[in-house]
Chain A
């Protein structure tokens, strides 16, 4: 090796070494959270966590926050609401974390809302639905694109009414998220004078949906609004395919959690065709912002290793965006003061890889960015097909729309 090259290399190593030793000298900034790693929500929880971990690695590669390394303190909440209060008390009182991220989903998040409000703590929400509506905590900011409470049901019913739907059937899981969705759907239906001809709540652990689908079919609804959780969504769609749902149905779906995950989509394959369901991110041209492509390049590589959702559209980029918002707020306020960070988050619009995010007073998005998309031309057992555009045609919101609804439901299935 030439002397000059050796010296140059040594200096480079020294500079890198100096940078990382400065980073290592100060205690890290700890961000605490629980995340479903087992149980029914684990598929989503693991993907969400990977998104947050990619942000952590990116921000640490850039020098961390306030010159300090970012460290995640994560516990498995087993998808259970009974686990999270104790975990968050431990994160705050024993682990002494600096900031809190909420676990994925409504059910594990709902019981920690009184705790964070009582302690005056900032909580970055992670895809909960309306957990702050009654608590009224002013330091809650949800990364999900839901927006105003009724916009989800309203957008689905807009599509349904345009297709000629006049009455509605509601099938919902007996848990917090689905019941919140059902509540808003009933309200919107009442305001629009849409009679509800079938309204069933099924308990967790329901194994077989054939009987329920038969009863639903007998009610002859025009609109079928389903709010289900991952373990059930596949069972419901399978039963619909076998038992049939009737020619009267103009539109089917709305709030089925699970149909956003690669394994479920791949398993169900062509059974998905025709279903109109909510989503958060899809590989369409209008949905790429600064850093989106780079994020998915990293995610796709790491997802294989981590054995998590290979697509990761639904949650992972929003986990990353949650970190981006904290990064911007801490950078702008130059402190970890939670009140200051909350003020900054409330008063500014934030650039993220899922687009600009602005919050209303309740900590939810000012405007809904929740997509309603119809599955089209899906084949069996092919995950890769979902990476190309056109498999889920965006019907709402208008600014992202990529096609029109095919109705009735049975016609859209072919």
Chain B
């Protein structure tokens, strides 16, 4: 029973971390329909940015994540503009060709990281990494508690931003009916570009969480492509609160399977759950 309870607690923490690394993709892919397979590569790039600041200036990883957020916002604006000009503007098969574009970007990022940092694993140091909180016999890694709290705050903030602010509503509107927005006199491309900037900016913090939770290496993005798309699709495309719920379900399921049934089954379980959810609710957990 203790093991099961522990697995659930660690699973919730892990799930919130998964939500943080997936929430940007929920905006880019879920709301904007951009086949952003380079999302995990952007995430790993952010981790290396955090590593550089932590290593060179001894800045706390979370503060470093905050510091690179504006840079990532601008990076997102530029990336979307290039994607729009070269693919989206040119026709209906933009999505298919867009996948090739983003795969290309992902490989370029991977190679640039290798050239700059080499192929070795990198990690950061902070007072909360490598320690745990004890509750009797039960111990929780503090880095996971930090990731949990920051991920939760990040997801809630983004959900509030998208539902309560004027720009957030405009982003939702462009996702629902681009033509109607154009008739209202707004420029849907600029709104989508701004939204893509937001989706990329949150990776500053998410990248910090990634390197806080575990060491990173240049090809780590490949491990996250499946997981992040799984979370976003299971959540229901574009649903931020759904992303949090789906990520927690995935984290708890993985944790229970790892603890009680054997680690070999963990990847199969997450994708089996995705298939199960899609069979019952094709629009995802909170999709419309």
Contacts and interface: CB of A to CB of B under 8 A. Distances in A.
Interface of A: 37-40, 42-43, 45-46, 174, 200-203, 205-208, 210-212, 214-215, 218, 230-231, 234-235, 238-239, 241-244, 258, 261-264, 267, 271, 307-309, 380-381
Contacts of B258: 202, 206, 211-212, 215
B155 interface: no
A42 B214 CA distance: 18
A178 B10 CA distance: 26
Contact of A242 (B118, B130, B215, B223): B130
B271 to A, nearest CB: 12
Nearest to A206: B263
Contacts of A214: 3, 6-7, 10, 259
Contact of B263 (A200, A235, A263, A309): A200
Given A234-B214, A263-B121, A244 B139 contact: yes
A43 B110 contact: no
Contact of A208 (B14, B114, B218): B14
Contacts of A218: 2-3
B219 A267 contact: no
Nearest to B119: A42
B260 interface: yes
A241 B3 contact: no
A201 B144 contact: no
Nearest to B139: A243
Contact of A267 (B14, B121, B132): B121
B132 A307 contact: no
Nearest to A235: B214
B114 A38 contact: yes
A261 B217 CA distance: 14
Q: Give the interface size class of chain B.
A: 35 or more
Contacts of B220: 231
A214 B143 CA distance: 16
Contact of B262 (A39, A200, A271, A309): A200
A210 B130 CA distance: 12
Interface in B108-130: 110, 114, 117-123, 125, 129-130
Given A174-B264, A214-B10, A381-B125, A231 B259 contact: no
Contacts of B142: 242
Contacts of B119: 37-38, 42-43, 45-46
B47 interface: no
Given A39-B219, A238-B141, A263-B120, 20 more contacts: A38-B110, A38-B114, A46-B118, A174-B264, A201-B264, A202-B263, A208-B10, A208-B255, A211-B11, A211-B254, A230-B121, A231-B220, A234-B123, A241-B132, A242-B139, A242-B142, A264-B215, A308-B118, A309-B120, A381-B125
Nearest to B264: A201
B108 to A, nearest CB: 13
Interface in B199-224: 213-215, 217-220, 222-223
Closest 6 CB pairs of A and B: A202-B263, A42-B119, A263-B120, A307-B118, A242-B141, A242-B132
B282 interface: no
Nearest to B114: A38
